[in-house]
Amino acid sequence: MVTMTFMMTNQADRVGKWPNGLATALAKARERNPDLGLTRLAELAKENKQTIYRYIQGERKLPMPVAEKLAPIVNASVAELLLVDSGLPSFERVPLLSWVSAGKLDAEESITNVDVEKHVIAVDLPKGEWIALKVRGDSMDRLAPDGAVIFVNRSDQLLREDQFYVFSTGAGAATFKRYRGGKTIRLQPYSSNSDHETIIAPTDLRVVGRVRRVVTDLR
């Protein structure tokens, strides 16, 4: 049987070849929940108890996917578990939704596990409520070609001229377009394909969020 003592330590005090922040985070979590021991942690994370112990001791390098599973259990960020210093990039785990699911999103709707295809790691996103969507089609290919992933901040719904947003309507349709204001609100494509036309905004238009990042693979 593995027994261990959880102590609050500074990073400089850690031993082992692969130091991480799991021991400190677990100690803090146990102050709120004394039942969260090594065995329970391993059960919740669906990981081997001996392996978790080796992560805590720094005998093994804590992988990002395992840190992602452990972080919510010990109420810590992935960056804290991986000992990412504040001067280095911050990491955020963002739900990636299928475009079909996204097409049914209103700004006020919550995201369920059914909608989420997987989670993707994003670096140094501004503060917000983030979702990621796969782009389908070429209506925005000058910015985001087919297959690209866009990061949408659902807490940023203030419309700005010539900025890019995901919009939805009461009918459940969604679209990724450039915003043009004035007397008539228009949703413009940003495409190399001239067949795509500007959309006059319907009266039930809603803003899902502002698109702040595009990630695409080079062909």
Q: What is the pLDDT of residues 138-181, one digit of tens each?
A: 999 999 999 899 999 999 999 999 999 999 876 667 889 999 99
216, pLDDT greater than 50:
yes
Of 2-16, 25-39, 192-206, minimum mean pLDDT range: 2-16
Q: How buried is 26 (Cβ within 10 angstroms: 0-12 exposed, 13-18 middle, 19+ buried)? A: buried
What's the whole-number mean pLDDT along residues 50-76? 91
Is the pTM for the entire model greater than 0.75?
Answer: no
Residue whose C-alpha is closest to residue 97's, from 151, 142, 54, 38: 151
Is the predicted pLDDT of residue 1 greater than 60, yes or no? Answer: no
| Predicted pLDDT at 5 | 41
β-pair partners for 94: 120
Cα dihedral 145→151→156→159 (10° resolution) = 0
Helix (H, G, I), strand (E, B) or coil at 180: strand
Q: What is the pLDDT of residue 13?
A: 41
Q: What is the DSSP letter of 182?
A: S
Which tokens in the block code for residue 108?
A: 């006020």
Mean pLDDT confidence for 42-62: 92
In this predicted structure, the answer to whether residue 107 has a pLDDT above a threshold of 90 is: no
Q: Which residues contact 10 (CB under 8 A, 6 or more apart)?
A: none
* Contact residues for 219 (Cβ-Cβ < 8 A; gap 6+): none
* Residue 140 structure tokens: 């925005």
